[in-house]
Chain A
Amino acid sequence: MVQQSNDPHAGQKVDIRSTGLKILIVDDENMNRKILSRRLAKDGHTPFTAKNGQEGVDLFERETPDLIIMDIMMPVMDGYEATRIIKERAGESFVPIIALTSLEDEKALAGCIEAGADDFLSKPVTPTILNAKIDSLMRIRALYNAVSEQRNERDREMEFAEKIYSQIIYQGNMDESNVNYWTSPMAIFSGDILLIARSPSGPINVIMGDFTGHGLSAAMGAIPASEIFYAMTARGHSINEIAMELNRKLKQLLPSNIFLAAGIVQMDSDKGTATIWSGAVPDIFILGKEGGVKKRLKSRNLPLGVVDNDTLGSTIEVVALAQGDRLCVFSDGVTEAVRADGEMFEEERLEECLNRHRGSRLLEGVKTAVDKFCGGQSQTDDVTMVEITCDSKAARPMAVQATEISEKSTPLDWGMVVDLSPNRLRDSDPLPMIMQILMQDDALVQHKENLFLIMSELFTNSLDHGVLRMDGSLKQTMEGMIQYLTEREKALATIETGNIRMEIKHTTHGDERVFVVRVDDSGPGFDHMAKGACLSETCSMGGRGLQLVRSLCKEVIFHGSGNKVEATYVIT
């Protein structure tokens, strides 16, 4: 890549030379032109001469001189006019012009500077002063060039960075029909983020976040935050999971003085519920279809990226909504907008304003009210507001989403076997590890609860009854259940013999993905045909597990003496 050096000192070395310059002399007096030319040529410069302003402008265009010495009083076009034209045509580049005046005429001198001349010389011109002026103007030109090169460089980098930033931040769909928003960042890079994406099962996830500070440093955190939000939304993770992962990552990445205040909302228009995680943002408002505040939700959590996940103790709220109800999230740029006397807009004024605006242009109403309140005070923080309507017509059908998902992922056939010896059974629990591996497959994430339940039931059944030989009938009563658990704990701690083998196979048949779990244990098996199980209230404490597995799976088959079981779960 060929590029001008962006080291300002390197640039100065080249430009500060005061010899070998192309210098244009504009003077109507032949004698003056001759004397000046000879002197400049002797000093190693290349002089050009023009008889009047018009000729001067023409020569400037043709020769692009480094410096111009301009007489003022000339026929055809005077020095003022020529200076104005040349300065205008020079545009961004700096062409120093020295005006020639007589010292007595102060008015003419001021006029020269006003027309755009950079310095002046009084006649008669002495060589020492002339050289000093040329040197000084060349230094100014070097500085000017260095600054403008740096500015261009910064502009190019900003433009490039902004392109990348926008691609990362706005990869979701900002055009959901039931989401309105309004943002006014203070700079290209904003400390506020607003991300909108649809989760695979239909609901819309929205995060309105506000990083501490604004500008570039605040925008840095927006990149990992948006990556996490979009990836986890696409995989169908819950709002709580997204909040926890954001917190974990931001805590790890950001210095302790930068964190993210955020309102994360999942709007499930079909079910008529909104799930909300809010940390350190102004109150979230819920408005009825016809307007008017129905509910105000206080922020329940610490901002993201301050404390560890364990300390965060994240709280979410679920709110039931009627069709047409609207949920509004505002950044503190709204509530903390300040007017001349230092008074802030505050949530009370916001609520009042929301109650007053009954029409559809709610956010515009809020913006107008804030502007009016501030009365011309300039904006001091990024402002973001979002309005999400509970509108089942805006929700896309679930079936479409499901096929999109399976098209996106590349289904492969795979399998795994986990052999568990007594030591492993005693000291570790294989299920979290297996689940972690399974969750690498995006298409399985939506089925995680079911897959866990199936594997947990089959594994626990093998462990408790096959390996530990526990008596399941104990579980009939509450006292028995407690006894059962105590005995189980003891048996597990002293286990010496017995093995469990878990085999997981994943195959695809067209659109169908088949997930087979096989669990073999070293135990004697049981009479699976006789085992009755029910799910009603009158049912005992135990026996429910197998029934649940049966209702989730396409098929559950026992082999051998009942010590081998195979469950087939189908994902369409």
Chain B
Amino acid sequence: MAVKTQISEDGKVLTIGIPSRLDITAHKDFGEAYKDKLGPISSCIIDMAEVEFLDSSALGMLLMFRENAVAENVDISIANCSPGIKKIFAMANFDKLFKME
């Protein structure tokens, strides 16, 4: 399954749905998902509901995304993490960088 995106009706919120496995193979898809979309939106939600696995390149991707989003003044949050994924984020101190929902 690929990365899915959805923009809210008012055009302000972008939701990016991550597939079950987030690693180096998802890099391109993930980049495409927000490319050229950050300008008009005010916030972005990374929906992790389906994610089972991630590795450090996923963390790298999220950092890159964050850099882009901060530059465009977009408020970002990570939602629906499973407990196991949440632990990995906590271990990498990502809970301090990202708003976790």
Contact = CB atoms under 8 A, between A and B. Distances in A.
A545 B61 CA distance: 13
A544 B60 contact: yes
B75 interface: no
Given A318-B79, A485-B28, A544 B91 contact: no
B82 A548 contact: no
B88 interface: yes
Interface string B78-101: 011011110110011100110001
B49 A316 contact: yes
Contact of A448 (B53, B55, B56, B101): B53
Given A448-B52, A541-B64, A552 B91 contact: yes
Contact of A240 (B1, B50, B53, B59): B50
Interface in B31-89: 31, 49-50, 52-57, 59-60, 63-64, 67, 79-80, 82-85, 87-88
A556 to B, nearest CB: 14
A449 B64 contact: no
Contacts of B101: 318
Interface in A530-558: 535-537, 541-542, 544-545, 548, 551-552
A313 B83 contact: no
B88 A548 contact: yes
A392 B71 CA distance: 42
Interface stretch (A153-161, A452-460, A508-516): A452-460
Contacts of B83: 201
| Main SS at interface, chain B | helix
Interface string B14-36: 00010001011101100100000
A296 interface: no
Contact of A541 (B17, B21, B60): B60
Interface string A481-497: 11001001000000000
A432 interface: yes
A201 B64 CA distance: 33
Contacts of B85: 449
B12 interface: no
Given A449-B52, A541-B63, A318 B80 contact: yes
Interface residues of B, number: 37
Given A449-B52, A449-B82, A478-B67, A460 B97 contact: no
B28 A453 contact: no
A504 B83 CA distance: 25
A485 B27 contact: yes
Nearest to A446: B84
Interface in A449-477: 449-450, 452-453, 456-457, 460, 475
A478 B88 contact: no
A140 interface: no
Contacts of B96: 537
A527 interface: no
A184 to B, nearest CB: 34
A118 B26 CA distance: 82
A450 B84 contact: yes
Contact of A453 (B25, B63, B88, B97): B88
A572 interface: no
Nearest to A459: B55
Contacts of A475: 60
Nearest to B21: A432
Interface of B: 1, 4, 17, 21, 23-25, 27-28, 31, 49-50, 52-57, 59-60, 63-64, 67, 79-80, 82-85, 87-88, 91-93, 96-97, 101
Q: Top 10 closest A-B pairs, CB basis?
A: A449-B84, A545-B56, A456-B55, A452-B53, A544-B56, A541-B60, A238-B82, A316-B49, A453-B55, A240-B49
